[in-house]
């Protein structure tokens, strides 16, 4: 081949890229549509399964006891008397305050123990990982086995039938979950950041408070919310250690509507909704921090 022919021959790099075949492009678009449709259906099913129990409680709140016993999912006729009767039957405001007080106090205690505990398990290598697994395994034990020793412990401390005693028990019970959650967040913080702080003269606890804690704040918020919900819904400890009306929480009060011979389904549903709504508002308001915290700590 002569020099002129080489100059006239097209270069390989000058060849325009080949456009995807129309059939392949259509198949890709069709696959994307099917994928989105599948996700939409899945999310709709999840929302439906989540909403059905709440909607059923709403219908129960406007049904008479005889209507509920006759069966059916919807009220034959609305019975609004359940609402004023429920508010007259129990001091709902006090029990809500008790539940929120116990839940908030237990979260503070849980974080005070779990943050340094998770820091140790995350920075202690294999021993720390084994300790974290051991701590988490303690959460799997049935809580009923701890009722008797905790009862005598609280009685000796003078904390039976007190909100402080309930907050103490719930806070300690949620420590394993909080350590397990926070361990993953702390492991993602590079050690070099702490080493630089140590070179600047900061101690271990000071660097934890000033350096590590702000970096894992989404995880701390997520752990706090989860522990708050666990404590707010706790029933066994509240039933065992709070036997007077001044220290009872909302889950215990719900059980009071179940008598020996009859159950006030409608009033019980009203009180349930009164307890659900504030927590739903908190969950929606804190959704951004909860999702950010759980997603940032998903990879351990």
Note the pLDDT tens digit of each residue in 240-298. 998 888 899 999 998 888 776 778 888 999 999 999 999 988 888 887 776 665 555 54
pLDDT at 20: 54
Q: What is the pLDDT of residues 31-63, one digit of tens each?
A: 787 778 888 899 889 988 888 888 999 999 999
d(CA 77, CA 96): 30
d(CA 141, CA 31): 46
Phi, psi dihedral angles at 285 (to 5 degrees): -65, -35
d(CA 234, CA 53): 19
In the predicted structure, residue 299 carries a pLDDT above the cut 50: no
Alpha helices in 91-216 (DSSP H): 92-123, 125-139, 147-157, 163-173, 175-187, 191-199, 204-207, 213-215
């Amino acid at each position: 081949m002569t020099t002129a022919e080489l100059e006239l021959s097209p270069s390989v790099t000058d060849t325009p890229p080949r456009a995807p075949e129309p059939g392949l492009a259509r198949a890709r678009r069709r696959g994307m549509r099917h994928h989105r449709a599948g996700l939409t259906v899945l999310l709709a099913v999840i929302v439906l399964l989540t909403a059905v129990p709440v909607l059923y409680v709403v219908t129960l709140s406007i049904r008479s006891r005889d209507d509920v016993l006759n069966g059916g999912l919807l009220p034959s006729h609305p019975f609004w008397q359940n609402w004023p009767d429920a508010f007259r039957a129990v001091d709902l405001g006090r029990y809500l305050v008790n539940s929120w007080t116990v839940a908030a106090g237990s979260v503070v205690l849980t974080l005070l123990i779990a943050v340094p505990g998770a820091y140790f398990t995350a920075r202690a290598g294999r021993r720390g990982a084994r300790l974290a697994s051991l701590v988490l395994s303690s959460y799997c034990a049935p809580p009923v086995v701890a009722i008797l020793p905790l009862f005598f412990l609280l009685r000796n401390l003078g904390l039976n039938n007190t909100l402080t005693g309930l907050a103490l028990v719930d806070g300690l019970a949620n420590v394993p979950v909080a350590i397990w959650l926070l361990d993953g967040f702390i492991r993602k913080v590079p050690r070099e950041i702490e080493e630089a702080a140590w070179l600047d003269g900061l101690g271990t606890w000071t660097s934890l408070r000033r350096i590590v804690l702000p970096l894992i704040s989404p995880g701390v918020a997520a752990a706090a919310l989860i522990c708050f919900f666990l404590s707010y819904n706790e029933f066994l400890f509240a039933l065992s250690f709070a036997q007077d009306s001044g220290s009872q929480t909302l889950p215990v009060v719900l059980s009071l509507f179940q008598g020996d011979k009859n159950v006030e389904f409608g009033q019980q549903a009203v009180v349930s909704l009164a307890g659900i709504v504030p927590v739903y508002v908190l969950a929606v308001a804190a959704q951004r921090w909860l999702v950010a915290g759980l997603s940032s700590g998903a990879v351990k």
